[in-house]
């Protein structure tokens, strides 16, 4: 228990250190990055691309992304948050007054693990695996997920550990979804060989 408490204290101190870097312009950027509505055009572009490039077969990678989000979101919000019951920084009495928050409200009571991190890293992983042999700079997609995830610390609603484990779970579920996708592609290789 002492080790867990020690890690918890380090996580809180690291959070306060990162959360302490803010200004009017950086706050505005972080709020922009953290809002789900901000990324609707990005998701729309991805969907349009798949449907334009692969016609109805494009529904398969779209389904893979949706499956990733389903896995990641249910694991983070449906299982981890109620199981671990770790208060968000902005709800934690010990440090609450020191937390710099830039969004209205604090979100749900519990924050371990971050759904934003799980979902964004899951999507990034699936897209990376899909495009890695097609586009040279596909790995840059992880910069997007890292920025989205970091914004959750900046706005005061998640600890670094929430982000770390959320991101790792997202990578896992993105990989699992891609394996399911590849299994379907191999099974119907004559029909879906354009995905290879």
Q: pLDDT for 110-129, tens place per residue?
A: 999 999 999 999 999 999 99
Query: Residue 192 — pLDDT band, cuts 50, 70, 90?
Result: very low
Q: List, in sequence order, every residue forming a beta bridge with 110; answer none if it has no partner.
A: 87
Average pLDDT value over all residues in the chain = 91
- Do 194 and 61 contact (CB within 8 A), yes or no? no
Measured CA to CA, the distance from residue 47 to residue 160 in angstroms comes to: 31
Position 193 scores a pLDDT of 47
For residue 192, CA distances in Å to 25, 105, 189 come to 47, 46, 5
Phi/psi for 117 (5° steps) reads: -65, -45
Measured CA to CA, the distance from residue 9 to residue 30 in angstroms comes to: 25
For residue 117, CA distances in Å to 12, 111, 112, 176 come to 18, 11, 11, 17
Whether residue 189 has pLDDT greater than 70? no
Query: What DSSP designation does 75 have?
Result: I
- Name the residue among 126, 151, 178 with its Cα closest to residue 36: 151
Query: What DSSP designation does 29 have?
Result: H
Percent of the chain with pLDDT over 90: 74
Q: What's the whole-number mean pLDDT along residues 62-68?
A: 97
Q: What SS3 class is residue 102? A: coil
pLDDT one-digit tens code per residue, 4-43: 788 899 999 999 999 998 888 999 999 999 999 999 999 9
- Do 141 and 124 contact (CB within 8 A), yes or no? yes
Q: What's the whole-number mean pLDDT along residues 72-76?
A: 97
pLDDT one-digit tens code per residue, 91-115: 999 998 999 988 777 888 999 999 9
Domain positions in the chain are: 2-195
Whether residue 191 has pLDDT greater than 80? no
Instruction: Assign 3-state DSSP to the chain and report helix, strand, coil percentages, each to 5.
Output: 80, 0, 20
Q: What SS3 class is residue 110? A: strand
Burial of 105 (0-12, 13-18, 19+ CB in 10 A): exposed
CATH for 2-195 (2.40.50, 1.20.144, 1.10.405, 1.20.1260): 1.20.144
Q: List, in sequence order, every residue forming a beta bridge with 53; answer none if it has no partner.
A: none
């Amino acid at each position: 228990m002492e080790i867990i408490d020690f890690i918890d204290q380090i996580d809180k101190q690291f959070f306060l250190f990162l959360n302490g870097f803010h200004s009017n312009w950086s706050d505005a950027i972080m709020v922009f990055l953290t809002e789900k509505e901000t990324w609707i055009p990005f998701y729309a572009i991805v969907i349009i691309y798949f449907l334009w490039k692969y016609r109805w077969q494009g529904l398969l990678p779209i389904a893979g992304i949706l499956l990733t989000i389903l896995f990641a979101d249910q694991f983070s919000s449906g299982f981890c948050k109620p199981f671990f019951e770790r208060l968000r920084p902005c709800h934690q009495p010990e440090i609450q007054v020191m937390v710099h928050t830039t969004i209205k409200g604090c979100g749900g009571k519990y924050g371990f693990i971050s759904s934003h991190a799980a979902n964004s890293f899951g999507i990034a992983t699936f897209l990376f695996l899909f495009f890695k042999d097609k586009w040279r700079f596909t790995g840059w997609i992880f910069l997007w997920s890292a920025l989205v995830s970091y914004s959750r610390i900046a706005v005061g609603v998640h600890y670094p550990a929430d982000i770390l484990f959320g991101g790792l779970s997202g990578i896992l579920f993105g990989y699992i979804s891609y394996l399911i996708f590849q299994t379907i592609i191999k099974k119907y290789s004559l029909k879906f060989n354009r995905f290879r």
